[in-house]
């Protein structure tokens, strides 16, 4: 038994010695909407702040690895207010989340340039919510209390996309585009007056800077 344990530990150590590990920071820009059922007339939420956070990436095979991130992101939607005298007045709801996606990543290397394909699940925790409208000519927003009977703090779903990275001597820069589909509802449908479905739909563009640790995969 001891010999088996030592063999496993030794194999893990050898694998790690040939692994490539990255750690760094990222920024991004997200556009989002909510898919309601029954269907509601909504508009995409954009120009509402930037995402920012940390990135960890690990490879122990030449073409396959995983990437995990932890960042703050704003998601939500806009919706016309059904009051004729207000014209094009829009209601806006913005939820701030701490989000954790974990991608399986396929990497096609062309010398120092890599083409990346990402896909995996994400989970997010709502830390803040605000709402308002632009009846005064610009959006006036106010924080709202999160009601745990009505508002689901947890969101989860799938996210994927493609990107490119370049290895410099002083680190790695990457950029990618993503599409996400939420499986959790923003609002609890069992609460009075809430829709049967309120799922997130979003797209984002991201850039990041990564430090490299370990040896290159051969």
Count: domains in the chain: 1
> Is there a domain that residue 203 lies in?
yes
Residue 84 neighbours by CB under 8 Å, 6+ apart: none
What integer best gives the mean pLDDT of the chain?
88
How far apart, in Å, are the Cα atoms of 213 and each of 16, 86, 172?
11, 57, 11
Domain harbouring 38, CATH code: 2.40.160.20
- 63: which DSSP letter? S
| Residue 14 main-chain phi, psi, to 5 deg | -60, -45
> Is there a domain that residue 46 lies in?
yes
Which range of residues forms the domain containing residue 182?
A: 20-214
Q: What is the pLDDT of residue 82?
A: 66
* Segment 57-109, tens digit of pLDDT: 998 888 899 999 999 999 999 999 865 555 678 999 999 999 999 999 999 98
> Is there a domain that residue 3 lies in?
no
Spans in the chain with pLDDT lower than 50: 5-18, 217-218
- Model's pTM, two decimal places? 0.85
- 179: which DSSP letter? E
> Is there a domain that residue 187 lies in?
yes
Q: What is the pLDDT of residue 216?
A: 52
> Is there a domain that residue 78 lies in?
yes
Q: What is the pLDDT of residue 87?
A: 60
> Is there a domain that residue 185 lies in?
yes
Closest CA to 26 of 113, 99, 115: 99
Q: What is the pLDDT of residue 10?
A: 41
> Is there a domain that residue 14 lies in?
no
> Is there a domain that residue 11 lies in?
no
Query: Is it true that the peptide bond before 38 is cis, omega within 30 degrees of 0?
Result: yes
| Distance of alpha carbon 188 from alpha carbon 96, whole angstroms | 18
């Amino acid at each position: 038994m001891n010999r088996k344990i030592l063999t496993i530990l030794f194999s893990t150590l050898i694998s790690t010695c040939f692994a490539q590990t990255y750690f760094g920071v990222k920024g991004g820009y997200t556009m989002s909407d909510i898919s309601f059922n029954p269907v509601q007339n909504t508009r995409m939420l954009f120009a509402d702040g930037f995402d920012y956070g940390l990135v960890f990436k690990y490879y122990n095979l030449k073409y396959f690895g995983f990437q995990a991130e932890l960042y703050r992101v704003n998601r939500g939607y806009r919706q016309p207010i059904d009051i004729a005298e207000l014209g094009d007045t829009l209601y806006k709801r913005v939820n701030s989340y701490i989000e954790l996606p974990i991608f399986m990543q396929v990497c096609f290397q062309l010398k120092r340039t890599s083409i990346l394909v990402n896909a995996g699940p994400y989970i997010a925790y709502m830390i803040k919510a605000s709402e308002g409208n632009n009846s005064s000519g610009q959006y006036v927003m106010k924080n709202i209390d999160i009601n745990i009977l009505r508002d689901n703090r947890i969101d989860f779903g799938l996210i994927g996309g493609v990107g490119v990275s370049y290895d410099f001597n002083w680190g790695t820069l990457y950029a990618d585009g993503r599409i996400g589909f939420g499986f959790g509802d923003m609002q609890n449908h069992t609460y009075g007056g809430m829709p049967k479905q309120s799922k997130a739909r979003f797209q984002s563009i991201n850039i990041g800077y990564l430090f490299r640790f370990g040896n290159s995969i051969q």
